[in-house]
Structure 1
């Protein structure tokens, strides 16, 4: 098997049958596969989504974030109280007359993870939020006038207070944004090129480019006839499913280019999956890459996913919606928040043990624990109280109602 050494700078070396040098660039890898004259495909959102790692990352992230419960709350003396009314329904259930919450937020997050920006228009009726409408980022012009942003969509200009805006990452001017697909375009280009090469290779029956070596007729017409004869022979062999086909006497077929297996295209595709996972900061196991997954590290990747990725994106949307829906008024303590408990539930046994411990240590009331499992409240008033185990007391303190034992000779004096 040949060894392939990648060099960032061109080096004048003598190529041998055992060592092939190529630049560590997409063009260099294509040259390794015999595609030196090929041009890299341009990357758009639509063709980037045909790359399976990109599709897996975008759909998984957008659907996971869309599935998180999202509620509007009000800060009160007794704690956070869930809002009711039109605004609460718009946030949690139906953002507008055409979409439920999951469908709206799935579309919103897909724009964030493809074009690099999610936009939505807020329609108000007095203090209540009547509708939240998605805006197509590709048809929206964002400009800064003075210190304020304006959004022009379908010929209508909106103030920043009317638009929910979540960019993937802002540029230095705090107006334009980075797109993950644009930032990862080189990795996506290479994945597209390798996919196209593999499709062409196997569409041709898995036959690599071949050269016919031997005495050939002189003249261009004679060469064309020989090539046509060989092409017909190969096509006939493929159609008949026979592994043997005749070639002219004294001739030999030699492979041109490199075998994809020897070029380790499978490893290259796996590396591109890891590169695209880095662009989204997504553990590869969530992109269906289980090549290095075990029971233990898959669980740790799950915790990493919630703590360092989903939690951050959820916080980004919560802050934006709280600001744009309710404003900065100090007396208006309303806010929007996701519930991440569903992603951290684990198996039933562990969840029940965690709830039982939370009740026994006075962190949850029994009814609060039942509510987390979507169970009805228990009618007993004690179920609304915080409970602790009575046996837990400071060292040396007697239990309630129990007199400490008296020594039999406590009242006697020791007289010698």
Structure 2
């Protein structure tokens, strides 16, 4: 089956491929003795919060299609892609849900895929998200990429490169991306181990963890009964704080660190910082408020847009422009103005300066603030400032007209 849409002719099936790339997140044991994969990593609250902060913001930002004009640009609301990106990309998702899902795939798995459904007229009719675990990439002898998808029923389908919207994150080979979890597996594994350690301590319900030494001649049966009796009476949170009683002649020796010895709480805080560093998210956005205050909250938000979101937003824009738009007269772009506005006082000062220096109109400021248009607002002339040293109108004496009269004189 062949497909032509103003581009090179490509063959979908029966194309020999000399390389296959499987988009799988491999599981492995790290040095902390825990298995790190997408599900276990996302169960860490800091990872979940970092992924949510980025994906929810990307999903909720306005994404519009623009048309290049002689005077600059304008929104192309009649373009078929505008409705898909702004409202609903398919029949079961909103634009927010689609972009949020795709962004989560990028952050957790390093890749996000969506099938592009083209009409016979060469227009995009729908964008259908594909789960990364069911996608393999084939590279042909000519260097072309094919995407082989497998659904839950096990049926496979091969898609051409211009039928897939592919977002990559930190790729090594230019074909498959890598997620922060995959690259820094040990860091995530340490956070998992610390959480498991704390859970086990609470599960045991006591700080006592070690060996019970009994008198010589204790049989295996007696030793097992002592161990089982100890576990039954002093493990679990319900038994926390109970006083342990050992058989006559038996002693207890601690052989493991307590939570205080391991500085468990401080290690947990450090894990939050490590996760924030992996995803390049300010710690305050994932619940670490130790370094946050009212004076730097606005600047942290701008930092988030500039150093965290910008890379992801540009990746979306360039991928859509490359594969979904066939005319160079159109392009897509996110509107981040709302995230950069700051508080109302800063915005008011910004608009006042922009309007007074002449590079912004009042109508433009109102449009940015989503306020209704006022006819002729840009035609109003500014009243010249009043000189405080000038005398009031109708008076010839700057002091009010009484100066120069004698003490006994009447007006």
1:376 and 2:372 equivalent? yes
From 141, 144, 152, the counterpart of 2:139:
144
Tell whether the 8 Å contact from 2:111 to 2:176 is kept in structure 1 after alignment: no
From 49, 55, 66, the counterpart of 2:48:
55
Structure-1-length-normalised TM-score: 0.77
Cα deviation per residue 1:338-364 (whole Å; 9 max; x = unaligned)?
A: 001111122122212222322222222
From 354, 360, 372, the counterpart of 1:358:
354
Instruction: Give me the CA root mean square deviation.
Output: 2.7
Structure-2-length-normalised TM-score: 0.77
Match of 2:128 in 1: 133
Match of 1:324 in 2: 323
1:280 and 2:279 equivalent? yes
Q: 1:229–1:334: structure 2 CA closer, same or farther, 3 Å change rule?
A: closer
Unaligned runs of 5+ residues in structure 1 are 1-25, 31-39, 393-416
Secondary structure in structure 2 of the residue aligned to 1:114: helix
1:211 and 2:215 equivalent? no
- Following superposition, the deviation at residue 240 of structure 1 comes to 7.0
In 1, Cα distance between equivalents of 2:358 and 2:51: 41
- Following superposition, the deviation at residue 264 of structure 1 comes to 0.7
Match of 1:177 in 2: 177
- Following superposition, the deviation at residue 232 of structure 1 comes to 4.5
Secondary structure in structure 2 of the residue aligned to 1:141: strand
Tell whether the 8 Å contact from 2:234 to 2:240 is kept in structure 1 after alignment: no
**Residues 197-346 of structure 1 correspond to what in structure 2 (within 5 A)?**
197-213=197-213, 215=215, 217-234=217-234, 243-327=242-326, 329=327, 332-346=328-342
Secondary structure in structure 2 of the residue aligned to 1:374: coil
- Following superposition, the deviation at residue 239 of structure 1 comes to 5.4
**Residues 87-166 of structure 1 correspond to what in structure 2 (within 5 A)?**
87-125=81-119, 126-145=121-140, 146-154=142-150, 155-166=156-167
- Following superposition, the deviation at residue 210 of structure 1 comes to 3.3
Cα deviation per residue 1:191-224 (whole Å; 9 max; x = unaligned)?
A: 1122112111101113331333453543222322
Unaligned runs of 5+ residues in structure 2 are 1-29, 151-155, 386-411
Q: 1:186–1:242: structure 2 CA closer, same or farther, 3 Å change rule?
A: closer
Residue-pair matches, total: 349
Secondary structure in structure 2 of the residue aligned to 1:270: helix
- Following superposition, the deviation at residue 242 of structure 1 comes to 6.3
